Amino acid sequence: MQTQMMAIDQQTATGLGFPKQKYMAVERERRWLCREVPRERIVRTDIITDLYVTGARLRLRELRPGNGGAPLFKLGRKADLDAQTRLITTIYLPEEEFAAVRASFQGFTIKKLRHKLQPLLGVPVSVDEFQGPLGGLVLAEAEFESAEALAAFPAPDFIAREVTDDPRFSGGQLAKNGLPEDCF
pLDDT digits (tens, 9 = 90+) for 120-160: 999 999 999 999 999 999 999 999 999 999 999 999 999 99
Residue 75 CA to residue 91 CA, distance in Å, equals 5
- State if pTM tops 0.85: yes
- For the four alpha carbons of 31, 32, 36 and 40, in that order, the dihedral sign comes to negative
The answer to whether position 12 is within a domain reads: no
The answer to whether position 6 is within a domain reads: no
The answer to whether position 53 is within a domain reads: yes
Does residue 5 have a pLDDT over 70?
Answer: no
Q: Which domain holds residue 118?
A: 25-177
Does residue 75 have a pLDDT over 90?
Answer: yes
The answer to whether position 2 is within a domain reads: no
Which residue type is seen at 180? P
The answer to whether position 100 is within a domain reads: yes
Local structure of residue 134 (DSSP, 8 states): G
- Position 22 confidence tier, pLDDT thresholds 50, 70, 90: confident
Residue 51 CA to residue 47 CA, distance in Å, equals 14
- Asked if 24 and 87 count as a contact pair (C-beta separation under 8 A), the reply is yes
- Residue 109, beta-bridge partner list: 51
Angle (CA) 174-85-128 rounded to 5° is 40
Count of domains forming the chain: 1
Residue 49 CA to residue 175 CA, distance in Å, equals 11
The answer to whether position 47 is within a domain reads: yes
Does residue 79 have a pLDDT over 80?
Answer: yes
The answer to whether position 33 is within a domain reads: yes
The answer to whether position 31 is within a domain reads: yes
Find the CATH number of the domain harbouring 152: 2.40.320.10
